Amino acid sequence: MAHVSPPDTARWQAVQTRDRRADGSFVYAVRTTGIYCRASCPSRRPQRRNVEFFPVPAAAEHAGYRACRRCRPRDAMRGDPAVSLTERACRMMERAGTSLRLATLGDQLGVSPGHLQRVFTRVTGVSPRAYADALRAGRLREALRSGAAVTRAMYGAGYGSPSRIYDRTSPLGMTPATYRKGGKGMRIGYTTAGSPLGQVMVAATDRGLCFVSLGEERTLERHLRDEFPEAELHRADRGLGRMVDAVLGAIRGRAPDRGLPLD
């Protein structure tokens, strides 16, 4: 059976009604508890502003959430081979520490690169490359925020060359030192757009993309401010068209335009 994640409005409706038919198509996580659940979880329903959705348990766990012991959300997806393959791929990429080639990943999982690409994109809504790049950028950001030296943070995140985090394709959109200072002195433009996974916010400096996140617009703006408390933020709906197109392409599993400053 093909695994398809419904849009956020349908997901939230399933959570509100505890619809068992939605079990296995996504999990929802509650920011205030740090726990993720299946749609039909009998626990008290959370407030919408505290909820975010993930296509598979591995994605929720990578974001720092723990599985609910009451509804056991991982069990709801065990019967779907597509989800199982995707979960294994996610965990392999998380453990690798460095970027894995699609062919290498497919070989280790016993499937062709093309099959893995199709299944992974169908289940998660993003390509394996986009997922791996997000993992690497996340490690870099976390290390810099914790005070690690730039070189140590870079190699620990899986970047093989210093130029990768200083040129115009940097995942930070600014120098590591500026990122560590909360974007001090930077002017960051942002916009939002609809995507197959819900509302997406894209933000960038004149050096390149610095922030991509999914959620509700008010929540996204708060997250952007938390990420760059010292930067000047401004709405830039017209100026970020190409970046938005590239991000939406990555969400749909298309290869991004290599001319764009998109990690």
30, 58, 68, 202: which one is catalytic? 68
- C-alpha of 26 from chain center: 15
90 is catalytic: no
Q: Which of 203, 149, 209 is nearest to 176 (CA)?
A: 149
Q: Locate 79 and state its tokens.
A: 């019967």
Count of Cβ atoms closer than 10 Å to residue 75 Cβ? 13
- C-alpha of 206 from chain center: 23
210 is catalytic: no
Tell me the residue length of the chain. Answer: 263
Please write down the HEC assignment for all residues of 173-216.
CCCHHHHHCCCCCCEEEEEEEEECCEEEEEEEECCEEEEEEECC
Q: Which of 162, 161, 147, 247 is nearest to 203 (CA)?
A: 247
39, 71, 212, 246: which one is catalytic? 71
41, 100, 126, 240: which one is catalytic? 41
22, 30, 35, 37: which one is catalytic? 37
Report H helices in the chain: 8-17, 57-62, 81-96, 102-109, 113-124, 128-145, 150-157, 176-180, 217-227, 241-251
Say how far apart CA 247 and CA 212 lie, in whole Å: 8
- Which residues are designated catalytic? 37, 41, 68, 71
